[in-house]
Structures are given as C-alpha cells and as structure tokens.
C-alpha cells in the first residue's frame, strides 16, 4: 500500500465527507497509529501525520457508491468546512495497491485523510510508533482526545 | 500447546472489500507466522479469519488473505 497526495484544491466547504464505522475512539486511534508509516514522509518537518480516512461525496461519486465500497455497517457524515473549521487538516490522498478491490480502487480520487494535531515528539523523526511500545503509548495518549473531538464533528451514526 | 489466535484490528476504509491486504504490525503482533490463521476485527465489521500469506519489510507487515469479502 502506498499513499500519495493529490495536488488539488480542497472541495467546497459544504461537500459531505463520510467516515465509515461506528465511530469508536480506540479504533480511530489504532488506525492512525498503525498506518502512520505511510504518512511519515508527507510533512516537511519529518514528523509525519496521523490520519483518519474519509471519502468525499464529490467528483461524480455518490454516497451510495462510497458506502457500498466499504464493509462497515455504519457511517457518519460531516462536511469539509466543519472538519477544517474544527482545526483539523485535510489532505487529498489516494491509496495505491494492486490488490485493492475494484469498488474501493474506483473511489480513491475522493479519498481524503483528516490529519489529527501533531505530536511534537522528536522520536518520530527516527522511529515509527509501531516499532516502539513506549512511543506508541505516548502517541495514543496524545491522539485520543483529538479523535474524540473529531468524532463529535460528525453527525449521528447511520446504519447501512 | 495450541497457540492462541492473534487478533489484528484493521482500518477497513483502507481496504474495502479487498481479499488480500498488507497490514503494518505492532511489535506485539509480530509473533505470527506464515500460514497461521488470525482474527481480523474492524470498526463495525464482523470479525473473521485471515491467513498470513507472507511477512514483508523484515516482519513489520503481514500480507493477509481472506477466503471471501467481508460481506460475502
């Protein structure tokens, strides 16, 4: 899996973004830490980004197409403006993997990562937290309240 | 003694219904071996079993294979 940043302006602030799943803080943090290695080189300071995967209802991709491309049984909506107004970064990113199922490969052009506030820990310059349990714990402790705040930016969870 | 199956939580938003996925492993998960079956869980996705098809990047990542898509 390789994550690439698309060089494009953010969608209009009213554009819907979909976060899949029941919205568990622990799951969100776990994903951000587990996948950090793919985001280590994406920031100029070398500290990388802890990212939360969402999809925009934009560029001809409907909400139904997004939901059907993913196996989670629930999801929630927010908007680009609500996410950025809450102080979170938003990166246009695409995941490249030859083994991606066709349905999710087809919506990578509307995939975005919400960037959680950085942990300014110099250890991240050298070490991926998946390789260091003490650093992993520090990162999880830092990210949890931000993840909680991010989830509150989304509306109520809907069942598919 | 039979080994307890390792449980790995993945972010399905990165894999969708893919049946072969590559997952970074936390240090505590790196006892898994090729051919081993592991539990895969995700946020509001039924848990299911995958087989470790390969270990890559010096064992820091596992290539996991499902029998079918999560909703099949």
B chain contacts of residue A97, beta-carbon cutoff 8 Å = 18, 21-22
Q: Do the strands B7-9 and B37-42 form a parallel or antiparallel pair, or are they unpaired? A: parallel
Q: What pLDDT, on a 0 to 100 scale, did the predictor assign at position B72?
A: 47
Residue A128's φ and ψ, nearest 5 degrees, are -85, 135
ipTM at complex level: 0.94
pLDDT digits (tens, 9 = 90+) for A51-84: 999 999 999 999 999 999 999 999 999 999 999 9
Give how far A92 is from chain B: nearest CA, Å.
14
From the CA atom positions of chain B, what is the Rg in Å? 11
Percentage of residues in chain A with pLDDT exceeding 90?
A: 91
Q: Do A101 and B69 touch (CB under 8 A)?
A: yes
Query: And the tokens for B47?
Result: 């848990």
CATH of the domain at B36: 2.40.240
Residues of chain B with pLDDT under 50: 72
From the list A68, A59, A78, A52, the residue with the least C-alpha distance to A146 is A52
Q: Do A35 and B14 touch (CB under 8 A)?
A: yes
Give how far B41 is from chain A: nearest CA, Å.
10
Residue B71 in domain: no
Average pLDDT over residues A120-130: 93
Q: Which one of A22, A32, A34 makes the best mutation probe of the B interface by having the most chain B beta carbons within 10 Å?
A: A34
Parse chain A into domains and list their residue ranges: 2-8+20-74+99-153
Domain count within chain B = 1
Which residue is it, tokens 């009213």? A14
Q: Scanning every residue of chain A, which has its alpha carbon at the shortest distance from the alpha carbon of B27?
A: A131
Neighbours of B70 (CB within 10 A): 21
Domain that holds residue B45: 7-66
Residue B48 in domain: yes
pLDDT digits (tens, 9 = 90+) for A14-39: 999 999 999 999 999 999 999 999 99
């Amino acid at each position: 899996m390789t994550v690439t940043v698309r060089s494009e302006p953010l969608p209009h602030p009213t554009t819907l973004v979909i976060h899949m799943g029941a919205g568990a803080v622990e799951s969100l943090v776990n994903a951000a830490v587990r996948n950090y290695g793919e985001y280590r080189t994406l920031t100029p300071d070398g500290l990388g980004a802890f990212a939360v995967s969402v999809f925009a209802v934009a560029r001809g991709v409907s909400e139904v197409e997004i939901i059907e491309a993913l196996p989670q049984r629930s999801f929630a909506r927010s908007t680009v403006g609500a996410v950025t107004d809450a102080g979170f970064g938003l990166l246009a990113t695409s995941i490249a993997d030859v083994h991606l199922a066709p349905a999710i490969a087809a919506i990578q052009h509307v995939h975005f990562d919400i960037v959680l506030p950085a942990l300014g820990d110099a250890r991240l310059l050298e070490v991926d937290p998946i390789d260091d349990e003490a650093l992993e714990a520090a990162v999880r402790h830092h990210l949890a309240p931000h993840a909680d705040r991010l989830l509150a930016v989304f509306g109520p969870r809907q069942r598919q | 003694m039979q080994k307890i199956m390792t449980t790995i939580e993945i972010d399905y938003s990165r894999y969708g219904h893919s049946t072969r996925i590559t997952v970074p492993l936390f240090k505590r998960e790196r006892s898994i071996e090729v051919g081993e079956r592991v539990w895969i869980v995700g946020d509001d996705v039924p848990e299911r079993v995958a087989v470790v098809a390969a270990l890559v990047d010096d064992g820091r990542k596992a290539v996991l294979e499902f029998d079918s898509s999560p909703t099949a």
